[in-house]
Amino acid sequence: MNTDSYQAMLAAVQAFHDKHRFKQTGAEDLVYRVALMAEELACILHQGGEIQCYRHD
């Protein structure tokens, strides 16, 4: 595994969390994250591989 690309991925994820204030709004809560992943998975399965239910920037 390329550790530079892994660190870049982690930095991008952290920037997304910071931008959308996940920590301040409770969105880093495990229950919230699992529910969000389940909803996104349902969208992917329903749309044949593409998330089209909604979009996060």
Residue-by-residue DSSP string for 8-48 = HHHHHHHHHHHHTTHHHHTTTSHHHHHHHHHHHHHHHHHTT
Q: Output the pTM of the full model.
A: 0.50
The rounded percent of the chain whose pLDDT value lies above 90 is: 0
Show me where the domains of the chain are located.
Answer: 3-46
pLDDT tens readout for residues 5-46: 888 888 888 888 888 888 888 877 888 888 878 887 877 776
Using alpha carbons only, how large is the chain's radius of gyration in Å? Answer: 14
Can you tell me the distance from the alpha carbon of 12 to that of 54, in angstroms, rounded to the nearest whole number? 20
Please give the pLDDT value at position 47: 63
- Asked whether 38 and 46 are in contact (CB, 8 A), the reply is no
Please give the pLDDT value at position 36: 79
